[in-house]
Amino acid sequence: MNQLEFSSKTLLCYSVRKNVRIDLSCLPDDIFDIVLQGLADSKMCVMGSPYTGKYIKNDMKAVPFVEMLTDIIKPSYPRVCRLVSFLDSLSDGDVFRIVSEDAPTMNKQLAVLKIQGTAKGKDERAIHNDYLIRFGRLTTAFRHYAYGYDGIKNPVGEGFKPNRVCRFCGKKMPEVSFKDVAHAVSEGLGNKILLCNEECTSCNHNLSKLESNLMRYLAVRRAMGGILSKSDGKVPSVDGKGFVIRGDENNKGVLYIEKDSLPLDLDTSKPFWWKLETTESVTHQGIYKALCKIVIDLIPSSELKHFHETIGWINGSVMDNELPPYYASYDREQVLQPTVDIFLSGSPGTEPYCMAVVHILDVLFAFVLPEVDVDKARFKTVQATKNSLSLLMDAFGGLWQIEDSSEYTLSNPWVYWPVNPDAPQICILPKSDPVFMRYKRDKPIKEEEEFPKFTPVGISLPVVTNVHFIRHSYGTVTMMDLQQVSINFLRFDCLLDKETSSATFFAAFNFSDSSNRLSFFDFSFTANVNIEKFDRYIRIGEYFCIDYHLRDFLCELIMSAADKELKKYTVGSDLEPVTMGKVVDRRTIRQLYYIIPVIVNKYMKVKDAEIHNQ
């Protein structure tokens, strides 16, 4: 091994006992070469190749090298102490590997796998061949970035705070601060080492609400898997239908099951599987957004230019009613530290541009990043996503379950859990036991408003006024463009006037290509509808609510009327296939804002998503 093989002065040192990252960038080139040459001359190196070397600790050979580092280099460059400390942590005969930080991911992961595998008696060549069989095609077609697999803290992005630009809001100091340590994966999911330097304090706080979807989805696994809460360092309490999980005196999660909730004929003296459904709700779209946020935190800064719309979608400023599904694989090898594998297109024609696998506890998530400009919305359908992810899922193996990323409806997550009545972490008790009295009661229960059965009687046809159409692109728009069109909600408000029993809609939309970089046209209008039985379906007073059946009917009605106005501008042109009926569906309709008079010249604005789960 010669001194020219490590082009980076940051070394990754791996052993069974310890993994460390040693930054020697402070060393001048000639001193760094002396360190590398010293490693080679110490005769500890038994195998060398570009970027990496395999070594065996030999106390007799290592001593002169360590003395050289300590006596000659350390006085001027104290950072070499970390290399000395690493060598001192090893015993005579220990195998260790050193990899240049700029080495391909394959070299780094193989170094870790071989260190761990050979310590368990596995053949080194078999480990190497298995890796190539599983990941060879992937690493040839894609650029692979992996995080968390070696246990070394890995902050991604600009290290110098004054130079940082937030990945999610685009702001920098002093407009925003970077006081908090931003974890790419929430600490509540076990992450201690995957960090993003380029996530400002404000965005870090705002996005934590998004991350709670993953926390709730994996609540049972977190509690029973030993992942402690960040706030108090204890096992998270989980409330469920017929069960609770609480921490014991040793801070271990204990599953308490209500005996009354089990079938009478179930033999509880033998192991069985039971469905554990929690009381906190999530959405699949929220889970998908949380997963995509992890990837945005960790991709190289130079790649962010392709993900402007993805970031807008995560933040909520970009809407899409059709998203690629994500896949999940359960009951895998459990990891306490999450790992993330990101695959970016390695050459033109290789697609999708970005896909990833996130491993949290015993669950793997595989997904394509949405809204990427290079992909032009080609990966939305189930079949297209399945085809694009097949290489990825085959490499990681196992069974995969498809989930609808577009689903925004709240639901309670559940898991089939193995119940061994003899296990110390399982207790089957009567429903009257005090442990079940500790269900969380601090959150107010939201009661659903009861409305009479909806009928459209007494609702007038819309009067459409203030119509404006502005075409931006005069090049030919193809049918493929229109199938992948992005619809941006510039304004979608509904003024509810109890005095006149009317609803007035103010709508403005922009139609662009899938990357939102080429704008086709803007279309806006005002529509007024009289509602004879206003009080029957709308409550305005001490509180506000509206029957979602009425909401759906009104939106369909105004879009149909607006479509006739749009046709006056598009008939006979390449834009004629565009219809307003496709603008609003049960997902995008949640972007509607209600404007309600409170007092004279004072109004309250409420988003539909805040009051409806339909």
What pLDDT is recorded for position 482? Answer: 77
User: End of a domain among 85, 105, 125?
Assistant: 105
Boundaries of domain holding 512: 463-610
> How far apart are alpha carbons 489 and 481 in whole angstroms?
19
Over residues 2-26, mean pLDDT: 83
Give the whole-angstrom CA distance, residue 588 versus residue 351.
Answer: 28
Residue 6: pLDDT band (50, 70, 90) is confident
Radius of gyration of the chain (CA): 29
The reported pLDDT for the residue numbered 438 is 61
For residue 239, what pLDDT band results from cuts at 50, 70 and 90? very high
pLDDT category, 8, cuts 50, 70, 90?
Answer: confident
Domain limit, last residue, from 44, 70, 105: 105
What's the pLDDT score for residue 497? 93
| Counts for the chain of helices (H) and strands (E), in that order | 13, 28
pLDDT at 42: 73
Distance, in Å, from the CA atom of 144 to the CA atom of 140, rounded to the nearest integer, reads: 9
The answer to whether residue 545 sits within a structural domain is yes
pLDDT for position 99: 93
452 part of a folded domain: no
Is residue 76 situated within a structural domain? yes
pLDDT at res. 613:
63
- In this structure, of 74-83, 87-96, 415-424, 476-485, the range with the lowest mean pLDDT score is 476-485
Mean pLDDT of 500-520: 87
pLDDT tens digits, 527-568: 999 999 999 999 988 788 999 999 999 999 999 999 999 999
- For 535-546, the pLDDT digits (tens) are 999 998 878 899
Whole-angstrom distance, CA of residue 453 vs CA of residue 385: 40
- pLDDT of 295 reads 98
The answer, yes or no, to whether residue 360 has pLDDT greater than 90, is: yes
Query: What pLDDT, on the 0 to 100 scale, is given for residue 5?
Result: 60
pLDDT at 443: 47
Measured between alpha carbons, how far is residue 76 from residues 70, 71, 80, 284, 514 in Å? Answer: 10, 10, 10, 55, 56
Q: What is the pLDDT of residue 196?
A: 96
Overall number of domains in the chain: 2
Q: Is residue 221 part of a domain?
A: no
In a domain, 222, yes or no: no
pLDDT exceeds cutoff 60 at 2: no
CA end-to-end distance (rounded Å), the chain: 65
Q: Which two tokens stand for residue 568?
A: 């006056």
- Stretch 514-522: mean pLDDT, rounded? 81
Write phi, then psi, for 145 (nearest 5 degrees).
Answer: -120, 125
Q: Decide if pLDDT at 4 tops 70.
A: no
Domain boundary pick from 105, 129, 151 = 105
Whether residue 593 lies inside any domain: the answer is yes
18-22, 69-73, 484-488, 496-500, range with the lowest pLDDT: 484-488
| Cα–Cα distance for residue pair 99/113, rounded to 1 Å | 13
Give, as one character, the DSSP assignment of residue 430: -
Q: Is residue 447 part of a domain?
A: no
pTM of the model: 0.81
Query: pLDDT tens digit string along 437-457?
Result: 765 444 444 556 788 999 999
Mean local confidence (pLDDT), 11-16 = 94
Looking at residue 117, the DSSP 8-state letter turns out to be: H
Which pLDDT does position 554 carry in this prediction? 95
Q: Is residue 554 part of a domain?
A: yes
